[in-house]
Amino acid sequence: MQSLPKYYLPGYNELTSLTNNHEKVILEIGFGNGDNTTFLASQNPNALIIAAEVYLSGIGSLLASISEHSFTNIKIFDKDVRELLLQVDQEIFDEVYIICPDPWPKARHHKRRLVQHEFLKLLAKVLKKNGTVYISTDWDNYAESMQEEIERTKDDFEFKKISNEGMPVTRFQKRAMNEGRSISTFLLKVLNQNIFLIHTLNLLLIISDIKIKLY
């Protein structure tokens, strides 16, 4: 991994120093072999792509693609992405991608799944206004769990299920489709906090009005 330092993102301080030189900042969490990462880099040449992955095999594949295509807008974070996100104290990301995270299919391991409402709330805090999160899975059971967890963040996100059309089909997704599994994709959009505040104030006014009528 001799070439890693050139593309390595040590932490939050280095991230903030890089963001001023790019039109937007995109985070991909668990990039696998880098298929989607290189697609994002090619489609967004003026964006900074932060690619988070802990497995060396995937990092090696992405480094090979970076070298082959001479990408200059990709930085790799090779630790648990939560370590980075917990350091972030501002709205810094425009888009987040979580493509087919580990499904942890055994019931006793479900607590290890990445897409939990606590993690989604953490993402909401670091997303810019109108920021988006794309999440996909090829496991029906995980898709159901994802939707339940997403619905628990209704104060932070609005969401809808979308087709995967226009996105690259990764190696893992191809294997899933060959095995007869479908791809479920969710698009989350962070709520404008001002709008949420207005809804909250309106609700408080309604409650106050009800109390006045009762008395």
For the annotated catalytic residues, the residue numbers are 102
Least Cα distance to 139 among 119, 109, 95 occurs for: 109
Structure tokens at 184: 């479920």
Backbone angles phi, psi at 206, to 5 degrees: -65, -45
The SS3 assignment for 129 reads strand
Alpha helices in 20-106 (DSSP H): 35-43, 56-69, 81-85
